[in-house]
Amino acid sequence: MFVFVQTVRHRDYFLASTPDEDVHATPPSVGLALTSGGLLLVALVAVVLFAKVLSPVVETAVKNAGAPPAVVGIVIAALVLLPEGLAAVRAACADRLQNSLNLALGSALASIGLTIPTVAGVFLWTGQPLVLGIDGKETVLLVLTLLVGTLTLSTGRTTILQGAVHLSLFAAYLFLSFAP
């Protein structure tokens, strides 16, 4: 849906709005697109394997700090999203809000739409059990977030109040992760 919105329905949202912004490159050739897709898959597998290698170190640190096991997932997710998050913050600081939003949304969707299936595939391939770690509280917060997101995006306009509701839900998730 994001790709459809980005390339068809609301393409103008994702184009440079002023002449001084970067001009978009010409579309890549089919060979370059296929090569890029293959390299994307290799990079995703590398990120998943890196997270798997880093996971025991993070688990030990979380255990030593006395934090709940759910914090491990939060730390790993933060590390995976860190490069795009920093790029989004830099774009926002440079008053390039649309680029910032594109980076943030694209990163989140890539993590959800590509990383999670890749993780599931690696776990199936290695024969290890996959535990997502979502209990009742997280399920309620997830459903509530999806409902609020639907209400926020259905009008086509958002307000600071809606943003504050989303940030409150995120804060509640973090609080409940650290203080179950």
Residue where a domain stops, chosen among 93, 116, 132? 132
Q: Is the pTM of this model over 0.75?
A: no
Tell me if 23 is assigned to some domain: no
Please check whether residues 98 and 152 belong to one and the same domain: no
- Are 90 and 101 found together in one domain? yes
Average pLDDT on 104-122 reads 76
- Are 99 and 138 in the same domain? no
My answer on whether 100 and 115 are in the same domain is yes
Percent pLDDT > 70 in the chain is 87
- Cβ 44 vs Cβ 117: under 8 Å: no
Q: Report pLDDT digits (tens) over 68-91.
A: 887 888 888 788 778 888 888 898
Q: How many CA atoms lie within 13 A of 133 on its CB side?
A: 8
> What would the mean pLDDT of 102-114 be, rounded to a whole number?
75
Please check whether residue 88 lies inside any domain of the structure. yes
User: Which segments of the chain does DSSP mark as H helices, in order?
Assistant: 2-4, 30-65, 70-93, 97-110, 116-126, 136-154, 160-178
- 43-60 in b/e form (b: 16+ CB < 10 A) is ebeebbeebeeeeeebee
Kindly give, in sequence order, each residue whose CB lies less than 8 Å from that of residue 37, ignoring residues fewer than 6 positions away. Answer: none
Residue 10 lies in a domain: no
Q: Using N-to-C axis directions, what is the helix angle for 30-65 and 116-126, rounded to 10°?
A: 80
Is 20 part of any domain? Answer: no
* Mean of all residue pLDDT scores within the chain: 80
pLDDT band at 21 (very low <50, low <70, confident <90, very high): low
| Interatomic CA distance for residues 174 and 180, integer angstroms | 10
Is 113 inside any structural domain? Answer: yes
Q: What is the domain extent for residue 167? A: 134-180
Asked if residues 45 and 116 have their Cβ atoms less than 8 Å apart, the reply is: no
CB within 8 A of 164, min separation 6: which ones?
A: none
| Domain identity same for 120 and 73 | yes
Q: What mean pLDDT is predicted for residues 101-130? A: 79
Given this model, what pLDDT does residue 41 score? 83
Whether residues 88 and 173 share a domain: the answer is no
Q: What's the rounded Cα separation, in Å, for the pair 50 and 31? A: 28
Q: Is residue 101 part of a domain?
A: yes
**92-101, 108-117, 137-146, 163-172: range with lowest mean pLDDT:** 108-117
Q: Is 159 contained in some domain?
A: yes
Instruction: List CB contacts of 162: < 8 A, sequence separation 6 or more.
Output: 148, 151, 152
The amino acid sitting at 44 is: L
Is the separation of the CB atoms in 174 and 74 below 8 Å?
A: yes
Residue 16 belongs to a domain: no
Number of domains present in the structure of the chain = 2
Q: What is the pLDDT of residues 25-72, one digit of tens each?
A: 677 889 998 998 899 888 878 877 887 888 889 899 989 988 888 788
Res 14: pLDDT: 64
Asked whether 100 and 88 are in contact (CB, 8 A), the reply is yes
36 and 108 share one domain: yes
Same domain, 174 and 86: no
Q: Is a pLDDT exceeding 70 seen at residue 17?
A: no
